Chains A and B, each alone.
Chain A
Amino acid sequence: MYTQSFSVPDGSDDAKSAGLKAVPKALSAQDAALQAQFDARIDADGRIEPREWMPEAYRKTLVRQISQHAHSEIVGMLPEGNWISRAPSLKRKAILIAKVQDEGGHGLYLYSAAETLGTSRDQMLDALHTGKAKYSSIFNYPTLNWADVGVVGWLVDGAAIMNQVPLCRCSYGPYARAMVRVCKEESFHQRQGYEALLVMMQGTAEQKTMVQDAVNRWWWKCLAMFGPPDADSPNSAQGMRWGIKRISNDDLRQKFVDATVPQAKVLGVTLPDPDLKWNEARQAHDYGQIDWDEFWATVNGNGPCNKERLGARVKAWNDGAWVREAALAHAKKQQARQMKEAA
């Protein structure tokens, strides 16, 4: 599904590992040459590949961002998975299962991309399960009615696509290629979500109320997904310099608002913002203030579902340990048997 458009420092001990503010170590002559080569490649809009030299801070930032993205895909299966057994028709249930299956695949692509940077999946999962690594704040909100599933497709995945399309041109090759694959499938998610809502909006008064209620609860949280305002986003400049980030948080957010307003109109819902209006001079929509305190509370573990989400992940991991071990033991036995036969 989806990434937070910016990379949140993981644990407290990790805050300094980004190394952005640290005094740079004196570079040896060889390192300086490599650094110059790297900078030239970035300036020429070239791709960096796994076995090439890269600054340590670039590597760490990417590991953090890509693994956060992967974790978001995996945790993001939970709020939607919540409705699989209660989907209102067999068709909607099959669609939802296919979508959640895609999210699992997206997580896999992204973990693989992160692994090319020299981390292992078990290390990343361990960071997630011990609360050291973040995932997108949006998945800490509950899905309270069936319309939420459609709204998550339309708005949450819609915001994700806004974020991810520029990432297809990210300077790190494996991440960019993973995003190309993800974006293709993501557009299925957004369209199916929107279509599910369109059907409900042609239904009974209760169904329409459900859709509006879901939009009211998710709208502001989706705007916050683009990350803090540019002025409060000190890491963005570095991300831009490195070609990881292509468009600023505020610019992406504006694009999202401008794209979504006409979609809401077609759907027949209102967006819960009295300050939302077209600005002729800017040729863009003005919108109200985002509640950043709530956003940061959620990012820092105090949203409505943080404990539940992480708890579900940790339980699945712990309860599944014996199955993973059994698969490995079986593989070893098969291998030993083959060796014996070959001998």
Chain B
Amino acid sequence: MTMVQAINDALDVMMGRNADVVVMGEDVGFFGGVFRATAGLQKKYGKTRVFDTPITECGIVGVAVGMGVYGLRPVAEIQFADYIYPALDQLVSEAARLRYRSAGEFTAPITVRSPFGGGIFGGQTHSQSPEGIFTHVSGIKTVIPSTPHDAKGLLIAAIEDNDPVIFFEPKRIYNGPFDGHYDRPARNWAGHPDAEVPEGYYRIDLGKARIVREGEALTILCYGTMVHVVANTVAELGVDAEIIDLRTLVPLDIDAVEASVKKTGRCMIVHEATRTSGFGAELSAVVQERCFYHLEAPIERVTGFDTPYPHSLEWAYFPGPIRIGESIKKILKD
């Protein structure tokens, strides 16, 4: 299965299991979504459970919150993460705080799915990685899968979760893994071990990281598309790195992070999002606080630059194999 198919399958499984699960968003109904993630669902479950919405992100999330208060479990789609900002007030001020401000009387068990990340020549408004905005908000969980297998299991867990979940889908790897070599032919998920997706219901608990590769020389913390770019770069360099796919940023799997860095003594953080106040800064801080006496080198961060996402200079911006490789060499030399 591709990641898009796995997401579609997760929605199908959950809609089949629970009549309260509804899917909503721009173009998600009859058309099946601009990335095909909701294809066939309206035909199967009907228009009152899978429906197109007006183009108003604050409305989509606000309405989803109200449906959640009623007792439904809405899965709302924001077509691109770059367009989630009009819904920020509903997410930050409402969904995230509802349980707290009502002392548990009302909750917002909503999942907001949104394609995110770059590497597709999406320019400024089809490439952003705004996860750091949401990890800063107490009351929201932020989840980012990197494989079809995880995408299905994590999305099922997100829909079942009684807290609001932001589910960012790395659109660069919707149809195949991406190792960062943009000049080579695109691959698809066929034959990839992580593309084997079990039929039916299974869940991957939120808050649990995945060790992609065990190693001794250094720890690399990453998520989304960067998991594949990092894994490939590590293989090309022949470095014995331990690669951790965080999968859930909040709540973070601190035990996995701490155990790995204490073992390797070196920590590198890779994300597409811009550097300053990005989630890498939080990761760097918690590693420094917990593993200070085990660190043999300064923590390295390989991230997008502190600029809006460019169009023509995408590959100079994107943290690809060269930048990651240089950083690995540097951290191992220290």
Q: Do A and B truly interact?
A: no
Residues of B within 8 A of A (CB): none
Residues of A within 8 A of B (CB): none
